[in-house]
């Protein structure tokens, strides 16, 4: 009788231990920590760097330590290297600019058709409708887009004033060899291009091998290129973006119960980055003006010359495959509807 009673006590105790273990396992007590390594080319004390560190802290808090985001600031390497590392699994995530996003999903290039999208309100209207489509295209290539961030506008900086397309056609323009599609577009518009990597542009300007660059005002101020290319065109050439991509393996390693919350944290940070970039861009432009940059303000008639020039040449570019036809037509229709409603 005692043996039977002792056996029952042992069995009950074993069942309790097993129950507690199952509860703990289901609650994540013994869950293995997931580590996500993110590569960024930007300094820790930059706007992006500060916000990335905050995202990492919020991920730890939101998952009770189950998912850790490790940010590698100022990681040496090109965006092509970053893509290779994500594909190899060396990193799970990285920050990319428009150029790298184009190489993953060529449809994204249609967002940067020169002079098609003209201001931030139009860009917002377009992104609202096409972002889900582009996210799907990116996922089909094995990546998860955690967030987009509008990073500002490309403008023309030149030695001599540029008010019209013909003014720019007289100049030799630096183009990044990695931006082949954008270079093809400018060639189709009749512009003279000279291939130059980012680190070669100051030397090429100083030696007069080039006369102009198309670049972000933030970058031009930071690199002091405006000291040589002292004219800035008023017209927005094209918008550009940044984004945080994760490889599929990294995304799927995150427990599903955490995925939506973690993506929401990144998306909110993306909105904050956009606001920061808009302010930084405006501040950079004003600072360069104070430092002697000549702001080439085109008249309404001159602005229309840019738009008409592009419209006349765009069908040929689309037919030649420089831009994705389906995405261009979708964006063009969104813009037509938006402009009619204004």
* Interatomic CA distance for residues 108 and 77, integer angstroms: 23
Q: Are 150 and 123 in contact (CB under 8 A)?
A: yes
Please report the pLDDT score of residue 26 as a whole number: 47
Q: What is the mean pLDDT of the chain?
A: 89
Residues 322 and 128: beta-carbon distance below 8 Å: no
Instruction: State the average pLDDT over residues 193-206.
Output: 89
C-alpha 74: how far from chain center:
16
Residue-wise pLDDT for 262-302, tens only, equals: 999 999 999 998 888 899 999 999 999 999 999 999 999 99
DSSP 8-state symbol, 211: S
Instruction: Convert the pLDDT of each residue in 132-163 to its tens digit.
Output: 999 999 999 999 999 988 889 999 999 999 99
Section 206-232 average pLDDT: 94
Q: Taking 90 as the threshold, does the pLDDT of residue 21 lie above it?
A: no
DSSP letter assigned to residue 31: P
Distance CA 250, CA 93 (A): 8
What lies within 8 Å, CB to CB, of 49 at 6+ separation is: 40, 42, 43, 71, 73
Q: Which residues pair with 96 in a beta bridge?
A: 243
- The pTM (predicted TM-score) of the whole model is 0.82
User: Which tens digits make up the pLDDT trace of 297-318?
Assistant: 999 999 999 999 999 999 888 9
| C-alpha distances in Å from residue 201, one per residue of 161, 213, 294 | 19, 8, 20
At 133, list the tokens. 């489509």
Going along the chain from its start, the domains and CATH numbers come out as 32-341 (3.40.190.170)
Contacts (Cβ under 8 Å, ≥6 apart) of 340: none
Instruction: Kindly report which listed range (34-43, 57-66, 267-276) carries the lowest average pLDDT score.
Output: 267-276
pLDDT interval class at 199 (50, 70, 90): confident
Percent of the chain past pLDDT 90, that is, above it, reads 67
């Amino acid at each position: 009788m005692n043996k039977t009673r002792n056996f029952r006590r042992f069995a009950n105790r074993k069942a309790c231990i097993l129950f507690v273990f199952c509860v703990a396992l289901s609650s994540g007590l013994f869950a293995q920590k997931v580590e996500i390594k993110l590569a960024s080319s930007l300094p820790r004390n930059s706007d992006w760097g500060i916000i990335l560190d905050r995202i990492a802290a919020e991920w730890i808090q939101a998952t009770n330590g189950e998912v850790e985001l490790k940010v590698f600031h100022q990681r040496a390497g090109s965006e092509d290297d970053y893509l290779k590392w994500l594909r190899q699994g060396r990193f799970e995530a990285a920050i990319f600019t428009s150029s790298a996003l184009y190489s993953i999903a060529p449809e994204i290039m249609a967002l940067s058709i020169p002079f098609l999208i003209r201001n931030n309100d139009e860009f917002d209207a377009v992104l609202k409708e096409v972002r889900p489509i582009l996210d799907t295209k990116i996922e089909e290539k094995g990546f998860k887009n955690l967030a987009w961030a509008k990073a500002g506008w490309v403008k023309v900086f030149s030695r001599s004033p540029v008010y019209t397309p013909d003014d720019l056609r007289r100049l030799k323009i630096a183009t990044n060899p990695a931006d082949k599609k954008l270079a093809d577009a400018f060639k189709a518009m009749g512009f003279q291009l000279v291939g130059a990597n980012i680190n070669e542009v100051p030397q090429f300007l100083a030696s007069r091998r080039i006369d102009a660059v198309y670049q972000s005002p933030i970058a031009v101020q930071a690199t002091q290129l405006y000291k040589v290319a002292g004219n800035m065109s008023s017209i927005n050439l094209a918008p550009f973006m940044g984004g945080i991509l994760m490889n599929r393996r990294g995304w799927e390693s995150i427990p599903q119960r955490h995925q939506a919350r973690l993506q929401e944290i990144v998306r909110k940070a993306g909105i904050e980055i956009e606001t920061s970039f808009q302010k930084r861009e405006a501040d950079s432009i004003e600072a360069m003006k104070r430092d002697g940059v000549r702001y080439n303000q085109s008249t309404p008639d001159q602005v229309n010359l840019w738009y008409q020039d592009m419209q006349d040449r765009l069908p040929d570019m689309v037919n030649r495959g420089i831009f994705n036809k389906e995405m261009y037509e979708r964006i063009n229709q969104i813009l037509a509807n938006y402009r009619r409603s204004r």
